[in-house]
Amino acid sequence: MKIYEGIEHFEPVINPVVTSGTFDGVHLGHQKILQRIQNIAREIGGETVMITFWPHPRMVLYPNEHRLKLLSTFEEKSRLLKNFGVDHLLTIPFTKEFSNLSSEEFIQKIIIDKIQTRKLVIGYDHRFGKNREGSFQYLKDNINKFHFELEEISREDVDNVGVSSTKIRKALEEGDIRTANEYLGRDYELNGIIIKGQQLGRSIGFPTANIHVPHDYKLIPCGGAYAVTVYVEGTRYNGMLNIGMRPTVNGESQTIEVNLFDFEGDLYDKRVCVHLKAYLRPEVKFSGLDALKNQLSQDKKDAKRILTQV
């Protein structure tokens, strides 16, 4: 997959089959669109082009709203799009100036003049242009002027999947990992770097690695214990993850700590990819370290049992 950072870097491709959107999470609904553009490209001997925007438009249009958390970083989304067979990823910097581009200007300057689109495929509720004025109906009404083919992923197709990024965010914030993973069509991931912690876990027989997630806009699921699989330099390990404030030891900030089963070695500064498999329990303040140790022993049993079933 070729990635173009800015429309000025885009190079002509053969019979471009194009779709557009933020595609946060690249969930099952997005995957239907990606599958469709692949099928069309095969039929006409073309190449697929995905137009996306960065930063997320809401971050630019509503900068004082800090509530938005994303399911995927740009790096994660790029990898997923590549895995789903996108040939060309065009990322357009989303700025206040770009947000003032009318729907007609967007179609003419980008879809037609720059990409020379052969066929455009969009979801039934997709909007584009200033104030989201553009729609499928607008495109349909003006298709003779635009001179490219147009296809809509119908309401029925999208609603049958019943998936949205908002629903997935809500599930993760409530610890409903099963629903989130079902809607994503895969495990929710946290990617980060191992940093030095207080090494308290080591003293009670459960050494943990502290994970630093470098992007503050990445959605971190609700606090508690999770059964996880972790990839360290390509090798998979089972483990359990804790997200929270560590109230038993009077923690002052949120940490993300993972205990790997059957692992020995140094993890510092290594990149890890954590796959969340199941939510074990909410975060609890225990009476002391002995009570915490007993609960961790139970968590490990529960995680091992769950991980043998997935």
Q: Are residue 91 and residue 217 in the same domain, yes or no?
A: no
Q: What is the CATH number of the domain that holds 181?
A: 2.40.30.30
The phi, psi pair for 4, rounded to 5°, reads -115, 120
In this model, does residue 175 exceed pLDDT 60? Answer: yes
Q: What is the CATH number of the domain that holds 133?
A: 3.40.50.620
Structural domain total, the chain? 2
- The pLDDT tens digits of the residues spanning 117-127 come to 999 998 777 88
Q: Are residue 12 and residue 153 in the same domain, yes or no?
A: yes
In this model, does residue 248 exceed pLDDT 70? Answer: no
In this model, does residue 236 exceed pLDDT 80? Answer: yes
In this model, does residue 160 exceed pLDDT 60? Answer: no
Q: Are residue 21 and residue 70 in the same domain, yes or no?
A: yes
Q: Are residue 183 and residue 157 in the same domain, yes or no?
A: no
Mean pLDDT across the chain: 90
Would you give the distance in Å from CA 246 to the centre of its chain?
A: 27
Q: Are residue 32 and residue 19 in the same domain, yes or no?
A: yes
Q: Are residue 99 and residue 244 in the same domain, yes or no?
A: no
Of 163, 189, 223, the residue at which a domain comes to its end is 163
| Structure confidence at residue 305 (pLDDT) | 97
In this model, does residue 155 exceed pLDDT 70? Answer: no
- Can you tell me the distance from the alpha carbon of 161 to that of 168, in angstroms, rounded to the nearest whole number? 13
- Name the residue with higher pLDDT: 59 or 111: 111
| Mean pLDDT on 143-160 | 77
Q: Are residue 100 and residue 212 in the same domain, yes or no?
A: no
| Structure confidence at residue 198 (pLDDT) | 66
| Structure confidence at residue 23 (pLDDT) | 93
Q: Are residue 203 and residue 279 in the same domain, yes or no?
A: yes
Of 94, 128, 163, the residue at which a domain comes to its end is 163
Domain that residue 84 falls in:
2-163
Q: Are residue 51 and residue 174 in the same domain, yes or no?
A: no
| Structure confidence at residue 237 (pLDDT) | 97
| Structure confidence at residue 156 (pLDDT) | 56
| Structure confidence at residue 285 (pLDDT) | 82
- The pLDDT tens digits of the residues spanning 3-20 come to 999 999 999 999 999 999
| Structure confidence at residue 247 (pLDDT) | 67
Of 163, 192, 213, the residue at which a domain comes to its end is 163
In this model, does residue 38 exceed pLDDT 90? Answer: yes
Q: Are residue 123 and residue 38 in the same domain, yes or no?
A: yes
Angle between helices 165-173 and 177-184 in degrees, nearest 10? 160
| Structure confidence at residue 218 (pLDDT) | 96
Most confidently modeled range among 99-108, 173-182, 246-255, 263-272: 173-182
| Mean pLDDT on 206-215 | 91
Contact 67, 28 (CB under 8 A): no
- Name the residue with higher pLDDT: 157 or 259: 259
Q: Are residue 100 and residue 234 in the same domain, yes or no?
A: no
In this model, does residue 152 exceed pLDDT 90? Answer: no
Q: Are residue 24 and residue 50 in the same domain, yes or no?
A: yes
